Amino acid sequence: MNIISQRQTETEENLESPNIFSPNPLESTEPDPLLPNPPTSGILSGEKREELSQELDRLNVEAAGLLGAGEITKAFEIWNRELRLRRYLGQAEELAALSRVAEIAWNNSQKLQVQWITRRLEILQPEIQEEEPPNLELLQALGSAFNTVRAKDPAVEVYQQVIVEARKQEDVVTLKQALTAIGEIHLNWLDYDNAAIAYEELLEVQQQSSSEISEIETTNPPVSGNFEKVNTLEQLAFIYNQGGQPLQAITAKERLVDFYEGQQNITEVPEIKISIAGDYEELGRLNLASQYYQEAYDIAQSIQRFVTASDALENLAALYLSQDEKEAAIEIYKVQLLMDQQFVNVYGMMETYDRMGQVYSQLKAFGLAMSSFQRGLELSRQLGGYRESYFLEKLDKLNRGRNN
């Protein structure tokens, strides 16, 4: 399954230790040569605004050049100068710049810089959140900025406000964006319970909007809407698996199967069914696990997805072995061999003969074990001697056992 997800691997311990006595340069009120007389209204307009914007863009380029040359301290001094002046271009411009520099600071282990930017965001937060009427674009930018500095709780709080306001305004696009953002934040922090809540709510919104479109249009819902639902279901399946909730994961995967079958696109179905079978194994419901492995094999075979079909058989054989049903496992391996022969999978046949040899050895069927390992040896030589010594050792051990 194509999972769009990323775990929160960065930690504050990787950043430099801050000096708590360092003054925040973003709070400095000293005049700047680029703006010796700041506007009393706080925001520039007209030609002065355009001129300052161009100058700040040049500062950004200069800072990036210094960073590339290894002059980290000088680079962030210039970026801080840029950030101080960006506020005179409006909150949207400032938030975009704060996010940009925050990401650079985080990636360069500049913890103090991240804290300075976080403090500036905390100052902006009440100003933006208390605006009437609420500005959804600014709120989203603020939530994104808090997420960039890894301030989870403020980010979630801001996005929750976006969700409330988007529902009031019936702004479905913004609602989906905010729910996705909250889900990703929780997922990045490995908070699977809250991530699941966000994605379940997102799925509900996606289904409702698709239903409304279907009522208006006589054609199917847009492809983009289908993709959104697939992505959300995949994320839910991943989240529930990671959170140790296989039953809920099965539900999400079954809905994925239903979707693909409804679209008459069963290409992805075998792998999903293999995954569902694994969940049932985890739950100890082995009959259902066996059923799903068999279904996965049947579908994969019918559409000539031989690698997936082989995976299904391998898992099914392993399931039988876990129940000490060795003869049943051997029968599965025989089917797997026939399929591997069909598309000349030499490596797959070699591995299957190895597993058969091991099972025959456990059954004390040493003649069959010998022939299985011998076939494995022959195939290993076709692969340039890969695992040849392993098969020779197996055969030698069996020979010595028979002679004793």
C-alpha–C-alpha distance, residues 161 and 143, integer Å: 10
Band (149; pLDDT cuts 50, 70, 90):
very high
The DSSP bridge partners found for residue 345 are none
The encoded tokens of residue 102 equal 């925050």
The DSSP bridge partners found for residue 32 are 35
Question: Which residues, including other chains, have CB under 8 Å from residue 153's CB and lie 6 or more apart?
Answer: none
DSSP string for 212-277: HHHHH-SSPPPHHHHHHHHHHHHHHHHHHHHTT-HHHHHHHHHHHHHHHHHTT--TTHHHHHHHHH
pLDDT at 213: 54
Up-side HSE of residue 324: CA atoms within 13 Å toward CB? 0
**94 φ, ψ to 5°?**
-65, -45
- Cα dihedral: 261, 264, 270, 271 (round 10): -90
C-alpha–C-alpha distance, residues 35 and 84, integer Å: 11
C-alpha–C-alpha distance, residues 230 and 147, integer Å: 25
| Average per-residue pLDDT for the chain | 91
C-alpha–C-alpha distance, residues 368 and 358, integer Å: 10
Please tell me the pTM assigned to this model: 0.86
> What are 90-113's pLDDT values in tens digits?
999 999 999 999 999 999 999 999
Q: What is the CA radius of gyration of the chain?
A: 30
pLDDT at 1: 47
The encoded tokens of residue 24 equal 């925040």
> What are 4-27's pLDDT values in tens digits?
444 444 444 444 444 555 789 999
Greater confidence, 335 or 217?
335
User: Where does residue 22 rank: exposed (0-12), middle (13-18), buried (19+ CB within 10 A)?
Assistant: exposed
Q: Tell me which DSSP letter residue 87 carries.
A: G
C-alpha–C-alpha distance, residues 353 and 369, integer Å: 9
Q: Sign of torsion, CA 376 377 378 384?
A: positive
Are 91 and 124 spatial neighbours (Cβ–Cβ below 8 Å)?
Answer: yes
Give how far the C-alpha of residue 326 lies from the chain's centroid of Cα atoms, to the nearest Å: 38
> What are 47-61's pLDDT values in tens digits?
999 999 999 999 999
Question: Which residues, including other chains, have CB under 8 Å from residue 229's CB and lie 6 or more apart?
Answer: 203, 206, 207, 210, 259
Are 162 and 185 spatial neighbours (Cβ–Cβ below 8 Å)?
Answer: no
Q: What percent of the chain has pLDDT over 90?
A: 83
Are 186 and 195 spatial neighbours (Cβ–Cβ below 8 Å)?
Answer: yes
Are 207 and 164 spatial neighbours (Cβ–Cβ below 8 Å)?
Answer: no
Q: Is 31 left (phi over 0), alpha (psi -120 to 50) or beta?
A: beta
Question: Which residues, including other chains, have CB under 8 Å from residue 66's CB and lie 6 or more apart?
Answer: 72, 74, 75, 78
Q: What percent of the chain has pLDDT over 70?
A: 91
pLDDT at 7: 44
pLDDT at 209: 84
The residue-averaged pLDDT of 73-83 equals 97
